[in-house]
Amino acid sequence: MTFRTLIRGGLVVTAADELHADVLVEDGRVAALAAHGSAAAESWTADRTLDATGKYVIPGGVDAHTHMELPFGGTSASDTFETGTRAAAWGGTTTIVDFAVQSVGRTLREGLDAWYAKADGKCAIDYAFHMIVSDVNEHTLKEMDALVEEGVSSFKLFMAYPGVFYSDDGRILRAMQRASGNGGLIMMHAENGIAIDVLIEQALARGETDPRHHGEVRHVLLEAEATHRAVQLARVAGAPLYVVHVSAEEAVAELAAARDKGLPVFGETCPQYLFLSTDNLAEPDFQGAKYVCSTPLRPREHQAALWRGLRTNDLQVVSTDHCPFCFKGQKELGRGDFSKIPNGLPGVENRMDLLHQAVVDGHISRRRWIEIACATPARMFGLYPRKGTVAPGSDADIVLYDPHAEQVLSAATHHMNVDYSAYEGKRITGRVDTVLSRGELVLDARQYTGRAGHGAFVHRSTCQYL
């Protein structure tokens, strides 16, 4: 028996179009769209009708950068796949791409299997994986080919964190060469970690132990330098490159210069770089620890370059890098030594709203909102058009978004498993009202109806953005 859901009277917004249309969902997929009031739309019957009058009907968000349960700095990110995907759904995100981790001395297979096990049966929404490659060797390089076949078609390398995730230039080049042959996309954490470690040591020796020094030692120019180097290595290898969590104007300039040459170089930024700054890192009483992530928050002046990059398409994607640690007991590990503060911010629940606020504030258009948050991440990581749009044949991952509702972001009301909000007290115009994941109601007019285990692993093709 086919189950039909009819979404009536809303403004359908995709990266390409805005239309007053009704959407017919059959089982888990979009069956058809037709102009609201048209004979076709009026002829549809359904088992369930959702009234979207006054609301946007948008594709569910695709957050291509999350770290549920990531082990880091002797502790572990506080959202599990269960709590993190539930929070994502509350915030209008219906697909995450999380990072499986290869530990040094282990295989990619072992790392990936551990992440399948963590997520299996837990997720409220669909999920996919990238692979963090921490140990590039002959075996790992061969494994990369198999992972692309398995639908894990992107690999994150780190120019930072020596001794943990770090790869030197030779290993990076080898991995890029492999990716250029197998269609994998290399994602780069572009910060010169060797130089940063020298600055950390020197800062601590001077007694500079507060969170704000985290931002100083992770110097803007060491992000720009690493970005430049990553671009050149990718060019030599003949591989496309996706730079994650771009935070600095100088790094955007490197990407823009590469793209002006026609190189397949892409950049992602995150809400924290668009809305927060070193002012937050400098908050007194160790509160700045809440804002410690890498790349770090930058002086406010950098935000204009990020917004411009998003408008000019020198930056293509906004993901969260959701990597929450509670203030109590986790961030506090770094009292007296900023380098021991676990790196990461919560945000998976806030991204769609913050970017809608950016529409309200005039930074980006409504369609660009959907492009950077849904369509492009789906295309970049081989999920399109199954995810990232509302079109016949697409998964019915659909959000009814109320653009006029007012809300205040707060840890008291969010659903992430973390004891603070990075955006405490921030007013947002707009709010998620209803969420469908493959045609099933996950959020029904602000009532949570999802369940752990509904979310399924999604096999990704290779990058569709080239």
To the nearest 5 percent, what fractions of the chain are helix, strand and coil? 35, 25, 40
239 contacts 176 by C-beta, under 8 angstroms: yes
Q: In this structure, how many other beta carbons lie within 10 angstroms of the beta carbon of residue 406?
A: 10
From residue 174 to residue 203, the character string flagging contacts with ligand DUC as x (rule: CB under 6 A) and all else as - is ---------------x--------------
Cα separation, 371 vs 357, whole angstroms: 15
Residue 454 interacts with, from ligand DUC, Zn ion, none (CB under 5-8 Å by kind): Zn ion
Site membership for ligand DUC, residue 251 (CB under 6 A): no
Cβ pair 430, 353 in contact under 8 A: yes
Nearest-angstrom CA–CA distance, 300 and 308: 14
Quote the least distance from Cβ 156 to ligand DUC, whole Å.
Answer: 9
d(CA 371, CA 322): 20
Q: Is 323 in the site for ligand DUC (CB under 6 A)?
A: yes
Residue 344 interacts with, from ligand DUC, Zn ion, none (CB under 5-8 Å by kind): ligand DUC
Say how far apart CA 109 and CA 13 lie, in whole Å.
Answer: 39
Run of H or E residues at 23: strand 18-26
**Does position 122 bind Zn ion by CB under 5 A?**
no
One-letter amino acid identity for 128? A
DSSP-H helix ranges across 62-152: 81-90, 108-119, 138-149
DSSP letter, residue 396:
-
CA proximity to 90, closest of 321, 349, 408, 322: 349
> Could you tell which of Zn ion, ligand DUC, none binds residue 293, using a CB distance below 5 to 8 A set by kind?
ligand DUC
Pick from 344, 377, 388, 450 the residue near ligand DUC by CB under 6 A. Answer: 344
CB of 85 to Zn ion, least distance (A): 13
Q: Binding of ligand DUC at residue 294 (CB under 6 A)? A: yes
Beta strands in 42-109 (DSSP E): 48-51, 56-59, 61-66, 71-72, 75-76, 93-101
Q: Residue 438 Cβ, how far from ligand DUC at the closest point, in Å?
A: 29
Among 36, 65, 67, 218, binds ligand DUC (CB under 6 A): 67
Backbone dihedral angles phi then psi of residue 155, each to the nearest 5 degrees: -135, 125
Partner from Zn ion, ligand DUC, none binding residue 167, C-beta < 5-8 Å depending on class:
none
Q: Which of 175, 188, 126, 114 is CA-nearest to residue 148? A: 175
Question: Does residue 293 belong to the site contacting ligand DUC (CB under 6 A)?
Answer: yes
Give the C-alpha separation, 364 to 357, whole Å: 9
As given in the structure block, the two tokens for residue 50 are: 């959702």
In a 3-state reduction of DSSP, which class is residue 193?
Answer: helix
Q: How far is the CB of 122 from ligand DUC (least distance, A)?
A: 20
Minimum distance from CB of 65 to ligand DUC (Å)?
Answer: 9
Closest approach of Zn ion to the CB of residue 80, in Å: 17
Residue of the chain from 454, 456, 461, 462 that contacts Zn ion (CB under 5 A): 454
CB of 418 to Zn ion, least distance (A): 16
Q: Which of residues 309-368 bind Zn ion (CB under 5 A)?
A: 321
346 vs 388, beta carbon nearer ligand DUC: 346
- Residue 55 CA to its chain's centroid (Å): 24
Instruction: Write the binding mask 405 to 444 for Zn ion: x where contact by CB under 5 A, - elsewhere.
Output: -----------------------------------x----
Q: Which residue is nearest to ligand DUC (CB)?
A: 293
By beta-carbon proximity to ligand DUC, the closer residue of 14 and 330 is 330
Among 343, 389, 421, 437, indicate the residue that binds ligand DUC (CB under 6 A). Answer: 343
Asked if residue 189 binds Zn ion (CB under 5 A), the reply is yes
Structure tokens at 16: 């390409």
Supply 21's token pair. 């249309």
Which of the stretches 47-55, 112-120, 185-193, 204-212 binds Zn ion when contact is defined by CB under 5 A? 185-193
Least separation in angstroms between residue 66's CB and Zn ion is 8
List of residues contacting ligand DUC (CB under 6 A): 67, 72, 189, 293-294, 321, 323, 343-344
List of residues contacting Zn ion (CB under 5 A): 189, 321, 440, 454
